[in-house]
């Protein structure tokens, strides 16, 4: 919702009806975690990447601070349900090679990473080289295809044939093709960022919703207009989204006045509970934990 819930049924497995969203502010993380605890729902917290020219130590420090805050807050609540941290790919390419970027994100503590790629042989080869290291660590790997439904299916097939199958493929805007893609891709989960389909996730064969709307609605109500204007101005200047701007201004949101942080936490909790309800995620943690246990029966 940037936060929400998601359901990896294991490091490389996702359950139906999972949701997530971006949460660059600790108060927002606390609100979403509290909602997931109260709803007995799995939780995915998503951090958008900065704009394409963002690189280097500042982004890395913010990644590490995000992961540290998420695990600390989950422990303090406490929240004992399934928890995953996902880093979104840069939406307009990156100044950092994917292999270097993803290695840095894994070291920061993310349990899932994303790649944006086309279905050309060259892009598939490069994506597979990067993805193979993620697969070996049994971390979540979401592919964001740069093309239509056929491109999404072809890219997933090429990665699987190269030994680097993704755990999820993002099909935002292609939800009408979800049923045929699900039949074609088998156990690879389909995800979307279209919040309006929350009520239709099972019918459309969608297993994961990554929605920024709940966080942004809560943030706009919680902060002063001057703070919102700063986020909007940076997004306009960089050609970025508001959730990317919030991620870029993570430290600004971390240092909000106490009353604004309290409002943000409460509003994020409300927004997340409502989305969990609409998407049918309440009470699904136990089923997900049982699925993970079944996958690892007999493991030492």
3-state secondary structure 23-69: CCCHHHHHHHHHHHHHHCCCEEEEECCCCCCCCCHHHHHHHHHHHHH
The range of the structural domain enclosing residue 63 comes to 3-120+205-293
Torsion angles phi and psi, residue 279, rounded to 5: -90, 0
Report yes or no on 132 lying in a domain. Answer: no
Report yes or no on 288 lying in a domain. Answer: yes
Report yes or no on 254 lying in a domain. Answer: yes
pTM: 0.85
Residue pLDDT tens, the chain, 300 long: 333 333 332 333 343 445 555 566 899 999 999 999 999 999 999 998 865 555 567 888 889 999 999 999 999 999 999 999 999 888 665 667 888 888 889 999 999 998 888 777 787 778 888 888 888 888 898 988 888 777 888 888 888 888 888 989 998 888 988 888 888 888 888 998 888 887 777 777 788 888 899 999 999 999 999 999 999 999 999 888 999 999 889 889 999 999 999 999 999 999 999 999 988 889 999 988 888 888 777 765
Q: How many whole angstroms separate alpha carbon 43 and alpha carbon 273?
A: 12
Q: How many whole angstroms separate alpha carbon 135 and alpha carbon 122?
A: 20
Report yes or no on 77 lying in a domain. Answer: yes
The count of domains in the chain is 1
Q: Which of 65, 165, 153, 45 is closest to 108 using CA atoms?
A: 65
13, 167 contact by CB (below 8 A): yes
Report yes or no on 283 lying in a domain. Answer: yes
How much is the pLDDT for 20?
58
Report yes or no on 200 lying in a domain. Answer: no
Report yes or no on 102 lying in a domain. Answer: yes
Report yes or no on 187 lying in a domain. Answer: no
């Amino acid at each position: 919702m940037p936060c929400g819930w998601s359901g990896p049924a294991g490091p490389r497995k996702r359950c139906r009806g999972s949701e997530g969203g971006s949460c660059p502010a600790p108060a927002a993380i606390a609100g979403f975690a509290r909602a997931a605890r109260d709803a007995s729902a799995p939780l995915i917290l998503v951090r958008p990447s900065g704009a394409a020219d963002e690189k280097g130590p500042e982004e890395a420090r913010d990644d590490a601070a995000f992961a540290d805050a998420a695990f600390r807050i989950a422990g303090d609540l406490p929240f004992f349900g399934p928890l995953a941290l996902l880093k979104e790919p840069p939406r307009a390419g990156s100044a950092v090679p994917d292999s270097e970027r993803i290695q840095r994100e894994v070291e920061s503590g993310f349990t899932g990473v994303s790649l944006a790629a086309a279905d050309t042989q060259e892009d598939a080869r490069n994506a597979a080289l990067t993805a193979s290291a993620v697969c070996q660590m049994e971390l979540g790997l979401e592919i964001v295809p740069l093309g239509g439904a056929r491109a999404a299916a072809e890219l997933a097939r090429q990665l699987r044939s190269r030994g680097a199958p993704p755990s999820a493929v993002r099909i935002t805007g292609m939800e009408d093709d979800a049923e045929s893609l699900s039949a074609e891709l088998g156990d690879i989960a389909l995800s979307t960022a279209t919040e309006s389909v929350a009520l239709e996730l099972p019918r459309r064969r969608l297993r994961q919703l990554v929605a920024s709307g709940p966080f942004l609605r809560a943030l706009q109500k919680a902060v002063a207009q001057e703070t919102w204007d700063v986020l909007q101005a940076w997004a306009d200047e960089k050609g970025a989204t508001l959730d990317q701007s919030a991620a870029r201004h993570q430290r600004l949101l971390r240092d909000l006045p106490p009353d604004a942080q309290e409002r943000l936490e409460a509003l994020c909790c409300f927004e997340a509970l409502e989305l969990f309800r609409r998407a049918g995620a309440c009470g699904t943690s136990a089923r997900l934990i049982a699925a993970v246990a079944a996958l690892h029966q007999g493991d030492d």
